[in-house]
Amino acid sequence: MTILGIETSCDDTCCAILKKGREFEVLANIISSQVMVHRPWQGVYPALAKREHEKNLVPVLKRALKEAGFLTEGKVNFSRKEIDEILSRNPELCKKTNNFLKRYKGPKIDALTVTEGPGLEPCLWTGMNFVKALSSAWKIPIIPTNHLKAHLFVNFLNNKISFPSLGLIVSGGHTQLILMKDKKDFRLLGETRDDAAGECFDKTARLLKLNYPGGPEIEKRAKLTKKTSLSLPRPMIYSQDYDFSFSGLKTAVLYEVKKRRLNKSFVNEMAKETQQAIIDVLIKKTIKAARDFKVKSIVLGGGVIANKEIQRQFKKRVPFPLVFPPSQLCADNALMTCLAAYYSNKRENWKKIKVNANLNI
C-alpha cells in the first residue's frame, strides 16, 4: 500500500509518500518551512500562511513525486471544470494545479491523505482543496487524518509500541495527555486550559526579544547558563487532574522583564527557568497519568518535543519506556499524516469531506 499525504494545518507546506510492504518505506518527505515569512510578525499570520501554501503546494508535490520516482510526463483524463470548481477559492493554486495535471501522469498510489484538523482553517482548506483536486483527477480515494493522532502515530514508523500507552503531545497549539488502549482507541485525559506549552515558549521568547519561533531560541539561551537565580511558578503541578495551564507562566515572565534590564545573563537565566518550569510540569503530570493508568509505554510528539533538554530530563526522571520521534519528525510533517492514514484506513469520496479546525482526539 502506498499513500501520498499533504499537510498544511499551520505554517509548513508538506508532502510525503509512504509505502508499506513488510516494513514502512519512506519514499519522500518534503517540508517547506515558512519560518522566515512569519518572523517579522513574531508568530504565524494565517492569511500569509494560506498564500504561501497556495504558492508552495505544487512545487512541494513535484519534489516529493520526483524523489519517489513517480514524476512522469503523460496524459491524465480529468475534468478541468471539476478542478476549477474545487479550487475556486484558490485561483493561483487552481492555475498551477491545472498546469501540473496537464503535464504529468497520475502516480501509482493507493490513497491520498490530508489533515482534516485541528489547525488554522484557511490553511487546512487550502491543503484539503488541493487533495480533493488530485483525488478528482487521479480517481484515488482520500483518507482524512487527525493532526493530533498523527503527532503520535509518527512514532509507529520505527517502533513497536506496547499498549496501553500514554501519548503526550506538546506543540504550538496543543498540550495533551492521551490514553491509547490500542491503535484505534484514543481517550483525552487532560489538556491545557489556556496557552499551549509551545505558545508559552514563543511568547516568552518575544518578551525576551528573541526570534520566532521561540522554542529553539529559548533552548539555545538556556544552555548558555549553568544556574538561574530566578524562580517562576509551576502552574497546576499538584492539581489532581491531567490538565495544564501555561498562561500564568508567561505573565510571571512579563512582570520580571518589566523590573529588569534585558541583558544577556538575565535573558539566559530567564530562558533556563522558563524551560525548567515547563519541563517540571510536563514530567509531573506525565508520571501521574502513566501510574494511574498503568501504561506500558509513553509516546511523545509535537514541535516542543524536539527540545533536547526536555528529552534528556524525561529519560532521566520518567520511569517508563519512552518513545520519541526523530527530531525532524517532531514538528509538522506529512509523513506522520501518512502513518495516521495507514492506521485509520477510512477511505472517503472527495465530495464528502471537509475540514474541522477544532477537531479533537
Q: How far apart are CA 200 and CA 192, in angstroms?
A: 11
Nearest to 329 by CA among 309, 299, 358: 299
Cβ at position 34, least distance to ligand KG4 in Å: 11
> Would you tell me how many other CB atoms lie within 10 Å of the CB of residue 43?
16
The closest residue (CB) to ligand KG4 is 215
Measured from the CB atom, is 51 or 221 closer to ligand KG4? 221
3-state secondary structure of 323: strand
**Helix (H, G, I), strand (E, B), or coil: what is residue 18?**
strand
Among ligand KG4, Zn ion, none, what binds residue 304 when CB lies within 5 to 8 Å by partner kind? ligand KG4
Q: Considering only residues 171, 204, 245, 286, which one is a binding residue for Zn ion as defined by CB under 5 A?
A: 171
Residue 212 Cβ, how far from ligand KG4 at the closest point, in Å? 8
Cα angle for residues 78, 83, 88 (degrees, 5° grid): 170
The distance of closest approach from Cβ of residue 314 to Zn ion in the complex, given in angstroms and rounded to an integer, is 19
Question: What's the CA gap between 61 and 137, in Å, rounded?
Answer: 15
Q: What is the CA radius of gyration of the chain?
A: 21
Q: Which one, 155 or 171, has the nearer CB to Zn ion?
A: 171
Report in angstroms how near the CB of residue 202 gets to ligand KG4 at its nearest: 5
Comparing CA positions, the residue from 205, 177, 175 lying closest to residue 193 is 175
Is residue 320 within 8 Å of residue 185, measured between CB atoms? no
Contact 139, 269 (CB under 8 A): no
Task: Pull the grid cell for residue 319.
Answer: 520511569
Which residue among 202, 217, 273, 332 contacts Zn ion (CB under 5 A)?
332
Query: Which residue is it, cell 484515488?
Result: 140
Per partner kind, with CB cut-offs from 5 to 8 A, the member of Zn ion, ligand KG4, none near residue 270 is: none
CA within 13 Å, CB half, 10:
20
Which of residues 57 and 150 has its CB atom nearest to ligand KG4 in the complex? 150
Binding-site partner at residue 127 among Zn ion, ligand KG4, none, CB < 5 to 8 Å by type: none
Residues that bind ligand KG4 (CB under 6 A): 10, 171-173, 198, 201-202, 213-216, 219, 302-304, 306-307, 331-332
Beta carbon of residue 322, minimum distance to ligand KG4 (angstroms, whole number): 17
How many residues belong to the site for Zn ion (CB under 5 A)? 2
Stretch that binds Zn ion, among 95-103, 126-134, 170-178, 262-270 (CB under 5 A): 170-178
Which CB, 171 or 276, lies closer to Zn ion?
Answer: 171
- Of ligand KG4, Zn ion, none, which one sits near residue 136, judging by CB under 5 to 8 A according to partner kind? none
Q: How many Cβ atoms are within 10 Å of 347's Cβ, its own excluded? A: 15
Binding site for Zn ion (CB under 5 A): 171, 332
